[in-house]
A and B are shown apart, each in its own frame.
Chain A
Amino acid sequence: MDRDALRISNLTGAAAAIASGVGRRDFLKICSLAAAAVGLPVSAAEKMAARAALPKKPSVIWLQFQECTGCTESLLRTSHPGAGELILDLISLDYHETLMAAAGHQAEKSLTEAIKENDGKFVLVVEGAIPVKDNGNFCRIGDRTALDMLKDVASHAGAIIAIGSCASWGGIPSADPNPTGASSAGDILKGKTVVTIPGCPANPYNLLGVVLQYATFGTLPELDAKARPKFAYSRVIHDDCPRRAHFDAGRFAQRYGDEGSRQGWCLYKMGCKGPRTHANCSLLHFGEVVGAWPIGIGAQCFGCTEKELAFRVPMFQTVEPEQLGPPGMYPSVNAKHGDVSPVATGIAGVAIGAAIGAGIVMSRKLGQQPPEKDGGEEK
């Protein structure tokens, strides 16, 4: 395909929408759905549409290194927005080795031009780990090592997002003994802000949320200590797990296919890493298929977003839940029991008071008697 064909993606939003047979109203709907799906405010939809209507849509350059392309594949399966709407209407995906039509020197040229035209403004998405051993020789693209390519492109980027566990912390290529020295994008690009979206694959809506926010508002979402967006990674699976009630009630599956397993009981005893894994898989299902995530199909979570867990801790080994503390209602060793009835206290007081009063009266009465004078009997 020639270069002009590529430029179709640079048509104005309205034109592109007409070109793809979608009216303005439907286009707004797409933007609303996209905004809602990634947690952006309602007002974002309008802004998104307006931005997309501008002659220039935000540019995204997507680099792929030591990866399986799973993150791209999962991105293709979104529907709010769908990959089509995303690529054609909302962003300008200027370089993506899997999705672009170009190949070879043409692809290289697209990359160089995109960088030149959007210097300092494009969003760089990194998929896959970057090997550093042997000078990064284990991954070469277009006769450049992944290491060099990343450093070069990143130096021109406006925002950098590492998608998937591989780019976020090393992923499966970095599993022991890590012969290639697979590293995360953040390790390579020290000193730069690299938003990480771990997961294997990452949930595509987490990426979309970050990209669309940046594209529309020019800002990045709030990040945690591992540069993960808090809107998706602040809670552990355990906190939102649909099987949590079973955990709380002590109902555990002991092995695949047993009674507990069939009843959908908690998989903690089988080594579910949910209690330590930060992700939102239970809330945003993959591919919009309800229950299409590990615990949903009855397999224990293996902690794919967490460097300390995935590909490190054995599948069936239980982990200690990461918890802020037991809930306030949890029985304490110093639990309070029971109350004293005020009525009872009153009655007791009256009774004792009456007895003491009677005693005093008696004593006084006796005191008023003259002492006995006649002789009694004694020894």
Chain B
Amino acid sequence: MTTITRRQLLQGAAVAGVAAATAAPATAEASAESEARGRQPGDLGLLYDSTLCIGCRACVTKCKQANELPVDALTINGAPYDAPNDLNATTKTVIQVATQGDRFAFVKRQCMQCLDPACVSACMIKAYQKGPGGVITYDQSRCLGDRYCQIACPFNVPKFQWSKAIPVMVKCEMCRHRKEGPACSEVCPRQAVISGKVTDLMAEARRRQAASPGKYLARIYGETEAGGTQCLYLSAADVPFETLGLPKLDATTQPHLSTSIQHGLYNKMIAPVALYAAIGFAVWKNTRGGEDEEKKP
């Protein structure tokens, strides 16, 4: 009757630990092929030019109208205003202002339509999925309202309906229900936000940069951030993207760490089954024979 000594147990734990620690990078390459979606030719997105935006918020109003979203009621001096100050369960896009002394610049926030979205990776039963045109779609019939997508998103985009008894998650889906396409770009009076194929938007962004040397930051935000997004941003040369509230992110996709561990450890359930067999064997060995009665739980 072999017993496993304490030493063996601790050794095993150490080995398992090292194995787990090294499994992640080793399997990262393995899962790299499966995870990298990259840019597809049909991807749709938005280009937002902070230097043209005048903060009129026509896009915010039209978005609410097009998506049948209620107002964010705010009363100022007794007068009612629709004044959202951030994305929330009733606001799919918002304009905010960033001030540096006398200098101010506007920024439009909405779902970035990431190439490798954290929300899609997070959702247990695929309520968020990347759909036609690369637009991230929401299926409320699957959603559990656990808000992991809200936790996962590097841009804090998906918002939960805290005040509803039957809540859903709310975020921009590029007006996929509208045949005219995104409402925000349709109504903008300054072409500060335009919509279309990402390849065209990227070209337009480069064209604007070339046409006005020194006006813009050389970087197009969203080109590589979080592995690349379909919504792109241009900013004035003296307004860094972080000032606009856009998070500083490197080119790695948000889900890559978590996914590579999940795939590495649970790939085809080989490791768990093997572990189960090993544990089961040990337990069976240790509980058979005369010591049964005393060992039983």
Q: Which residues of A contact B (CB under 8 A)?
A: 247-252, 268-269, 318, 320-321, 325-326, 329-335, 337
Contact = CB atoms under 8 A, between A and B. Distances in A.
B62 interface: yes
A274 to B, nearest CB: 13
16 contacts: A247-B56, A250-B59, A250-B61, A250-B62, A251-B61, A321-B54, A325-B99, A330-B55, A331-B86, A331-B94, A332-B85, A332-B98, A333-B97, A333-B107, A333-B244, A333-B245
B102 interface: yes
Contacts of A330: 55, 96-97
Given A326-B97, A335-B86, A318 B104 contact: no
Nearest to A324: B102
Interface residues of B, number: 31
A335 B85 contact: yes
Given A250-B56, A326-B104, A330-B97, A318 B61 contact: no
Nearest to A271: B189
Nearest to A337: B86
Contacts of A320: 54, 190
Contacts of A335: 85-86, 96
A159 to B, nearest CB: 36
B13 to A, nearest CB: 21
Contacts of A247: 56
A291 to B, nearest CB: 24
Nearest to A272: B189
Contacts of B85: 331-332, 335
A295 to B, nearest CB: 16
Interface string B41-55: 000000000000011
A331 B59 contact: no
B249 interface: no
Contacts of A269: 189
A331 B56 CA distance: 12
Contacts of B165: none
A268 B56 CA distance: 10
Contact of A329 (B57, B76, B95, B187): B76
A333 B96 contact: yes
B123 interface: no
A321 B190 CA distance: 11
Contacts of A334: 245
A contact patch SS: loop
Interface in B83-114: 83-86, 94-99, 102, 104, 106-107
Contact of B189 (A318, A329, A331): A318
Contacts of B59: 250
B151 interface: no
Nearest to A331: B85
Contact of B187 (A252, A321, A331): A252
B61 A333 contact: no
B95 A331 contact: yes
B136 interface: no
Contacts of A331: 83-86, 94-97
B56 A332 contact: no
Given A247-B56, A318-B190, A326-B55, A332 B61 contact: no
A113 B26 CA distance: 103
Shortest 10 CB-CB contacts between residues of A and residues of B: A250-B58, A333-B245, A331-B85, A250-B61, A269-B189, A335-B85, A333-B98, A333-B96, A326-B97, A330-B97
Given A250-B62, A325-B104, A330-B97, 8 more contacts: A248-B57, A252-B58, A320-B54, A326-B97, A326-B104, A329-B83, A331-B85, A331-B86
Nearest to B74: A329
A332 B99 CA distance: 8
Contacts of B96: 330-333, 335
Most chain A C-beta atoms within 10 Å of own C-beta, residue among B82, B86, B95, B97: B97
